Amino acid sequence: MKKGGEALKEIEKKLREQPPVRWDLSKENLREALKEIRDVVGERWATDHRAVTITYSRDFTPTPGKAPNIVVMPASTEEVVEIVKIAHRRNIPFIPYSTGFNHGGLTLPRWGGILLDLKRMNKIEVDAERMTCTIGPGARNAEVYLAVNEHLAHDGVKLRACLPLTMGSISTLANYVARGGPGIAIRYGLSSELIAGMTWVLPDGQVLRLGVHAEGAERLPLNWHPLVDIMGIFVAADGGMGVCTEMTIRIVPEYPVEKLYIFDADDRERALESALEFDLRLSREEIAEFIYKSHHGQMAVAAPVDNPLDLADYLPSDPVIVIISGHDEEELAIKEEILMNIAESTGMYAVDQQALLFTDEPLFDPRYWKLVGPRVGAAMKWRGSFNWTAGNVKMDLIPLVHEYYRRLIHRYWKDSAPDFSEKMALTGTAVQGPYPFARLAPLEFDYWWDQGNPEDIKRAAVMLKKTTEMFVEKFKATMYRRMYGFGEIEMPRAQVYWELAKRFKAVVDELYISHPGVNPLDEQ
C-alpha cells in the first residue's frame, strides 16, 4: 500500500499550524469574554470547561480540528448578535455549529475560539398559503418533515419540504446553507434555490435580512427584493460570512402514492453502461421522484448483516434506485409501465429487494426516506465513519472517470492481500442522475473507515485528496461542495470569481474571525 507521501506531509503540516497572531486568545481575554457572554445567555448556557469543549473538537471525518475555548448555546438572534459583538470587540474567532454532523469537517474549529452551538434555536413555522416553512438552525430534518406534513397543499395532498438525503437528526437550515443535496428530483430546485429568505448576523454583529426576511417583503412567497440579490454569496460559505439564525424555505406537494424499485443489469459485464443509459432515458420522461445509481458498497452497508464484506462480491456493482409517485394507483400504474419499458429497452430489470439484501424488512420504503433518510444511519455501523465527495461531469465521461477511480482504489485504498477483491474495498461510483430531472447530477464517491485506526484515517485523507485532484485536474469537473479542506484545489480555478469572493470576505469580516480557515478566502 503506497502512502501518498506528499499528501500526508501536507496533512501533517496543517496539524502543526499555529493561529495567526492577529487574534487575542490569551487566557485573560477569553476569561473576560466568557463573563460577558454569560451576562447575555446565563451561566448555564456558556462554559469553558474542558470536558465540554473537547467534545466539539472532532467529528467522524478525517479533518483535523481543535477544541474551542468557549462553548455557548444562544436561544435567539438577539443573543447571537451580542455574542458576535463580544467576539468582534475582543478579537476572538467564532464558529457557528448546529448539529455537527456533516461530510466535510465544516463545523470544527481550526484554532479554538468561541463556538456557538445553535441547537436551542429550533423554530419551525409553516405557512401553507404561500407554501413556505421558516426554520431555525436547531430544527432537524425529521421535525421539519413532520411539521410540514401536517398541512395540505389541497384536498388529499399533503405538503413536504425538499429535505436532504441524509439523517433525520441533521439541521435542515445548516444543510441548505452548506448547499446539501435534496432527496428528490431537482425539478423543484436545488436546496439553495429553494431558499426564500435568510437572517444573518454578520461578523461585526450587524443583522442582515435577505429575501422575504427583508423589511417590506415579509409576505412575498419568493426571494424577491428591489435591491441587488446577494443571497448566494452566503450559501456554501460554511460559516465564513457570519451566523444564519433563521431561514425560510419553499415547500412542495407530496403525492400520496409512492413506490420504490431497485434495478440491476441483465449483462453484468456492461452494468455501468446499461445503468447510465437507463438513468438518461428515465430522466427525460420526468416520471420519477428520485433516480440514483448506487453501488455495491452502499447496498452492502445498508443490509442487516454483521459484516458487509460477506455481501460485497454478491451484490450488483451498479444498481439503480428509482422512486415514482402519483395522485392515485391508476397514475402510478401508468408511470410503472413506462418505467418497465425503459428498463427493458436498456437491459435493466427490477430485482426483489428483500431477496437481494437477505431480509424481510422493507429497508427501502420511501416513507422512511423522507423522515430519517435512506438507511444513512446504517452507514455509520460499518467501521463507524462514512464520508462522500462528489462533483459534476458529463454523463459520457463517467465510464472513463470510473476507470481512473479504480486505479486510485488499487493504489491508495484497497487492501493488498491477494484474496481481497476490489469490490471488498466497499467503494464505488454513485450517479445521482442526469440533469434536469434527477437529484443533483454529480458523480459521487463513498468511503468507510475506522476512526480508531490512525493508518485508516491517513489512507482516507489521502484517498479523498487524490480523488479530488483526479476529478478536478484530470477531468475539469466542478466539485459539488468544498469538503475536507480541499477548496484550495478547486477555488483558484475560478480566478476573478475567487478574487471577488475573497474581497467580499475582507469587507464583511475585516478581522477574519468568522470561522477562519473553513475555506480559502481568508487573508494570506
Taking only the tens place, the pLDDT of each residue in 464-502 is 889 999 998 999 888 877 776 677 888 888 889 889 999
- Which pLDDT score, from 0 to 100, does residue 489 have? 84
**Residue 242 burial (CB count, 10 A):** 25
Average pLDDT in the 384-401 region? Answer: 87
pLDDT per residue over 329-347, tens digit each?
Answer: 999 999 999 999 999 999 9
- Which pLDDT score, from 0 to 100, does residue 1 have? 40
- Which pLDDT score, from 0 to 100, does residue 374 have? 47
The terminus-to-terminus CA distance of the chain in angstroms comes to 35
Instruction: Name the most confidently modeled range: 4-8, 103-107, 368-372, 436-440.
Output: 103-107
* Residue 413 near residue 427, CB atoms below 8 Å: yes
**Residue 83 neighbours by CB under 8 Å, 6+ apart:** 37, 40, 41, 72, 74, 94, 114, 116
Distances in Å between the Cα of 140 and the Cα atoms of 104, 118, 171, 203, 372 are 19, 12, 5, 25, 10
- Which pLDDT score, from 0 to 100, does residue 252 have? 92
CA distance 490 to 393: 14
Least confident of 100-114, 223-237, 376-390: 376-390
* Residue 518 near residue 240, CB atoms below 8 Å: yes
Strand, helix or coil at 221?
Answer: coil
Average pLDDT in the 153-177 region? Answer: 88
Using a pLDDT cut of 90, give the percent of the chain over it: 52
When comparing pLDDT for 212 and 81, which is higher?
A: 81
CA distance 394 to 397: 6
**What residue ranges in 212-319 does DSSP mark as E strands?**
243-254, 257-265, 288-293
CA distance 428 to 99: 28
- Which pLDDT score, from 0 to 100, does residue 48 have? 98
Average pLDDT in the 267-287 region? Answer: 92
When comparing pLDDT for 481 and 41, which is higher?
A: 41
pLDDT at 5 over 60: no
CA nearest neighbour of 23 among 411, 427, 353, 514? 514
Strand, helix or coil at 391?
Answer: strand
CA nearest neighbour of 434 among 397, 487, 385, 405? 397
Least confident of 62-66, 388-392, 416-420: 62-66
CA distance 234 to 242: 8
- Which pLDDT score, from 0 to 100, does residue 369 have? 64
Strand order of the β-sheet with 429-431 is: 348-350, 257-265, 320-326, 288-293, 429-431, 442-450, 384-392, 478-479
CA distance 338 to 237: 42
Cell 455574542, residue? 83
- Residue 450's identity, in one-letter code, is D
CA nearest neighbour of 196 among 232, 247, 153? 247
- Residue 318's identity, in one-letter code, is D
Q: How confident is the model at residue 2 (pLDDT cuts 50, 70, 90)?
A: very low
Across 246-263, b (16+ Cβ under 10 Å) vs e yields bbbbbbbbbbeebbbbbb
CA distance 356 to 315: 7
Q: How confident is the model at residue 264 (pLDDT cuts 50, 70, 90)?
A: very high
CA distance 85 to 72: 14
Q: How confident is the model at residue 433 (pLDDT cuts 50, 70, 90)?
A: confident
* Residue 456 near residue 450, CB atoms below 8 Å: yes
* Residue 320 near residue 276, CB atoms below 8 Å: no
Cell 453501488, residue? 295
CA distance 431 to 416: 27
Task: Write out the H or E segment, with its range, that includes residue 407.
Answer: helix 398-408
Instruction: Name the most confidently modeled range: 6-15, 58-67, 289-298, 360-369.
Output: 289-298
Domains and CATH numbers, the chain: 124-254 (3.30.465.10), 257-479 (3.40.462.10)
Least confident of 179-188, 231-240, 307-316: 179-188
pLDDT at 30 over 50: yes
- Which pLDDT score, from 0 to 100, does residue 304 have? 79
CA distance 99 to 117: 8
Average pLDDT over the chain, rounded to whole? 87
Cell 475573497, residue? 502
- Residue 142's identity, in one-letter code, is A
pLDDT at 286 over 90: no
pLDDT per residue over 437-466, tens digit each?
Answer: 666 667 889 888 888 888 888 898 899 889
